[in-house]
Amino acid sequence: MKGLSSLERAVLECLGKKSLTYDEVQGQSGLHENVCFNILQALIIRGIIATDGMRYRISENLSPLIMEEINGMNAKLAESLEIIEAVLDQAEGRNFKFAKIAMDTRDEKIFLAMLSNLESFLLDAHKKSEAAVPLKERKVVFWGVGQVSTLMHQMIRGK
């Protein structure tokens, strides 16, 4: 079984624990009509979602193999890479910054505390607005810190 594309994952995220009509899935995801329909059909064929003819829902009792395909580390890595590639290719409407910054240990501790505050803010904002904001209108946010030498060693090893 192949992994899920980011578009398939988006449809699953729209469904969540709900049962939605085709129009609701299409409206929540923002996918073009034929793309949305094709993704729904592919997920039905793979047994990941079910339909009663009017509404779609995530299938109950998915096998551990399918759950790993959906939520496993490889799935999360593939989705992250796909999203980052799309962000980098985005021509307009983006506000992302990337820089190599010199920090002493004091500044690093302050920065890590700020990241912790940012993460708390993002989790609270998501919980507050999750039900009201359709997937297509959500924001992509990424943050973090890594040491240049560690990243270089990873590049050399290919991991």
Domain spans of the chain, in order of start: 6-71, 97-157
What's the rounded Cα separation, in Å, for the pair 78 and 144? 18
The answer to whether 26 touches 56, Cβ cutoff 8 Å, is: no
Tens-digit pLDDT profile for residues 30-39: 999 999 999 9
Q: Give residue-wise pLDDT tens across range 4-56.
A: 888 898 899 999 888 999 999 999 999 999 999 999 999 999 899 999 989 99
159 has a pLDDT exceeding 70: no
- Rounded to two decimals, the pTM is 0.71
Mean pLDDT of the residues in the chain = 87
Instruction: Using the Cα atoms of residue 105, residue 106, residue 109 and residue 114 in order, give the sign of their dihedral.
Output: negative
Q: Which amino acid is at 114?
A: M
Residue 7's closest CA among 34, 35, 28? 35
Radius of gyration (C-alpha) of the chain in whole angstroms: 19
Residue 114 DSSP class: H
pLDDT in tens, 69-127: 888 888 888 888 888 888 777 777 767 777 889 999 999 999 999 999 999 999 999 99
Give the CATH number of domain 6-71. 1.10.10.10
Collect all residues with Cβ–Cβ distance below 8 Å to 141 and sequence separation of at least 6.
Answer: 122
pLDDT at residue 112, as a whole number: 94
